[in-house]
Structure 1
C-alpha cells in the first residue's frame, strides 16, 4: 500500500525555491519601507518605495477570522486604486479555497473583478479563475505530484471568442535538499529551466536559464546565485547573469520585528559608463517593521 502523497505546490509556485533565491532580497531597484502592525484579528500594513523616481505605496487592512476561515483584505494605493479581496477557506469542502478579488480606479473609471478557486489534496493542487471584465477569460491549472515528481499545466480560454488564448506546461522534481523544474510557457514559445540546491544548512545555490524563441537578441538568458547565512540574524546573497550584471544583497535582523536590507547591482561591462536612461549601477535599501 502506497503512502499518502504530500500536496504538491501550485502552478505559480513551481520553481519557487530558485525564483526566491534569485529574485528576493536584492533591493537595488529602489528604497522601500514597510510597516506591519496587528490589533486582535486585524493586520495593518503600510508600504512604499521610490520606484521610477516617484513615491508609490499602499495602505492595507486585513481581517482574519480563523474559526470561520474568512479573510477580508482592503487596500488603497497612492494611484487612487481601491482593492478588495474576500477569501473563504475549508468551509464548503476540505481543501477548497474561494476568493473574490476586485479593483476600482475612480478617476479613470476602470474596474476589474476575478473569481478564484483552489483545491488541494494528496498528490493534487488545482486552481481556476474567471476574469469577469476581461474577456471574460477562464484560466485553469493543475499540478500532480507523486514521490517528488511533478507535472503541471495551465490554459486560458476566452469565453466570448470561444478560443484558447494561452497554454503552458511544466515538469519537475522536488526533494528535501534540491529541486529541478522545466517550464514551457507562452504557448511553448518560451522555455525555462531552474535548479535549486540547499548545499548545507547555511548555504543555498540556484540557477535559471530562459530561452525565448521570439526574442530579438537570441541566445539563452542565464542567471546563477547563492545565499549564505552569516548567523541566525543575517545573510548575504549574490548573483550574476550572462550579460555581466552582478547583484549583491545583505539582510540583517536588527532586533525582533525590525529588518534592514541593502542591495547593489553592478554592470561589469559598463564600469565607467553612464547610460542615457541613468546610471549603469544601482543601489537601494529596504526597511521592514513588523510588530
Structure 2
C-alpha cells in the first residue's frame, strides 16, 4: 500500500478540512505552541465570540517518554475542567496503542474516564474505547485497506442496557491526487466527498451530505434532513500565503486568506456570507493568529 491504513475518524479528512479548517466565523482565535528544552510541549488556544463577547480557552501540556513509549497529556480549560491522559504506543506490540484518559471538574466534583485501545498494521486499523462509569458506552471501529481501496465500519454499543445505539459504514478510494469517500450512518444519514489535488497550487473538493429527519449539527445543514452540497478549494499564492473559498447550495459563501508573516507566526482572516440576504443576512467574520516557537 502507498500509505498506512487510517483510523475511521480520518476517513475523508482531506475533503472535510477544505470546508472546516481555516474558517472561524464569528470568533477571534489565537493559538500558541511551544516546546521547552526539557521536551515538554505546551499548546494554548483562546477564543472570543463576537456575538456575546464570551471568552474561552485551554492550556495543554504534553510530555513524551520515548524509552517507554509513553505520552503524558494534561489539559485545563476555562470551564474549569481538568483532563489527563496516559498513552503507550508500540511497546507491548508493534502497532498497539493503549490509553487511559480522565476528566474532572473540581467545582461540581463531576468526573468521567475512558479506556482506549488501538491496533494498526499496514492493511487494517482498529480503534475501541469504553467509558469508565456506571453506564459505559463501547465504541469500536475498523478500517481495512486493499491497494487503493478502503472500507470501514463503526458501532456504538450501550453495555449497561445491551443495546446497539448506532452504526456506520464507509467506503473509499485514494491515490496520490484524489480521495473518494462515502459514509452511511444508522441508515438515515449519508455523506459523499471527493478531494482532488488539481496541481501543486490548487486543492479542490466537493461534499454532499444528507441528514436525518431531525436535522444535524454541521454548519450549513438544513433542518428536516435536506441535502447540502458544498464546493471548496484552496489556492496557494506562494510558499507563505493561500486563499480559501467554499460555497453551498444554501448560497452561503465562505472566503479565507492565510499569510505566514514570519517564521512561527501565521495570520488568517475568514468570512461566511449569507448571499440569500446579502444586505441584512447573518454574515460572520473571524480572525486567527497562530504562534509557534
Establish whether TM, by shorter chain, passes 0.5. yes
- Please say if 1:153 is aligned against 2:153: yes
Given the two structures, how large is their TM-score scaled by the length of structure 1? Answer: 0.93
Which residue of structure 2 lines up, in the alignment, with residue 14 of structure 1?
11
Provide the aligned C-alpha RMSD in A: 1.4
Residues 205, 227 of structure 1: 8 Å contact kept: yes
Is residue 5–residue 145 contact of structure 1 (8 Å, CA) maintained in 2? no
Tell me the residue number matched to 1:210: 209
Other-structure match for 1:252: 259
1:213 CA drift (Å): 3.8
CA apart distance, 1:54: 0.4
Describe the superposition over 1:68-93 as per-residue Cα deviations: whole angstroms up to 9, x where unpaired: 21111111111100010111110111
- CA separation in 1, counterparts of 2:258 and 2:265? 11
Aligned twin of 1:45 = 43
Contact 1:5-1:146 at 8 Å conserved across structures? no
SS at the partner of 1:191?
A: strand
TM-score between the two structures when normalised by the length of structure 2: 0.93
**Which structure 2 residue ranges, 5 or more long, are not aligned?**
216-222
Determine the C-alpha separation between the residues in 1 that align with 2:134 and 2:232: 38
Task: Tell me if structure 1 keeps the 8 A contact 2:212–2:224.
Answer: no
- Tell me the equivalent position of 2:130: 130
Q: Deviations over 1:64-119 (max 9, x none)?
A: 12232111111111110001011111011100111111111121221110111111
Superposition deviation, residue 256 in structure 1: 1.1
Distance in structure 2 (CA, Å) of the matches to 1:281 and 1:49: 18
Match in the other structure for 2:109: 109
Q: 2:27 corresponds to which residue?
A: 30
Q: What are structure 1's unaligned runs of at least 5 residues?
A: 275-279
Q: CA deviation at 1:28?
A: 2.2
Q: CA deviation at 1:53?
A: 2.6
Q: Say if 1:114 and 1:131, in contact at 8 Å, map to a contact too.
A: yes
